[in-house]
Chain A
Amino acid sequence: EAGVTQSPTHLIKTRGQQVTLRCSPISGHTSVYWYQQALGLGLQFLLWYDEGEERNRGNFPPRFSGRQFPNYSSELNVNALELEDSALYLCASSLVRWSGVSTDTQYFGPGTRLTVL
């Protein structure tokens, strides 16, 4: 069974540009989480999608947005890139029956490393 996949693997952008990162969850998983791991800051929760809806977002500005498609794959969009957006962006998926609390194991993808120059 294929794991969580992310594309692209690496990306280099310049300040002010826009970027789209993609994630495909494990087959059958309906929830997709996005996390940012910036140098020196550790992993931080960005966004959670389940059944096509945004369920919650972390403490990030509105220029971080995303969506989940009917096949449960997801995109993370970052507009007006800033230098501090350089980070590893990780996607994780889990099987969640929406009840307000997720207690299922999250499976992580390999990540997309974004460098903003």
Chain B
Amino acid sequence: KNEVEQSPQNLTAQEGEFITINCSYSVGISALHWLQQHPGGGIVSLFMLSSGKKKHGRLIATINIQEKHSSLHITASHPRDSAVYICAVMYSGGGADGLTFGKGTHLIIQP
């Protein structure tokens, strides 16, 4: 069964802390997405990775294909970063498919 596991499920931190959210998956993928969902449902795509590392502002995403693991880091966290962060993968293989999602990490940054 193709699964996407995220940890932690919930994370509360103080403003300014360095945040790490982890994602692991079970079989080969063609791409991994990190998504951000704010209260009310709106989803924003933060990164799409197939190898290496990407950085956008205070956000950094890394992926290790051999270990089937990705991390999302937030530096100098701010209360506006409070959201649910979702890891999603596109599995490689003979047939195309939609994304398979992790259950999300609920992040709260306290001022």
Chain B interface residues toward A at CB < 8 A: 30-31, 33, 35, 41-45, 48, 50, 86, 88, 90, 92, 94-104
Contacts and interface: CB of A to CB of B under 8 A. Distances in A.
Contacts of B33: 105-106
Q: How large is the interface on A (under 10, 10 to 19, 20 to 34, 35 or more residues)?
A: 20 to 34
B96 A100 contact: yes
A108 B98 CA distance: 13
A47 B98 CA distance: 7
A17 interface: no
Q: Give chain A's interface secondary structure class.
A: strand
Contacts of A110: 41-42
A87 to B, nearest CB: 10
Nearest to A113: B41
B41 A111 contact: yes
Residue among B35, B97, B104 with most chain A CB within 10 A: B97
B63 to A, nearest CB: 13
A56 B96 contact: yes
Nearest to B95: A56
Given A90-B43, A105-B48, A106-B45, A100 B94 contact: yes
A83 interface: no
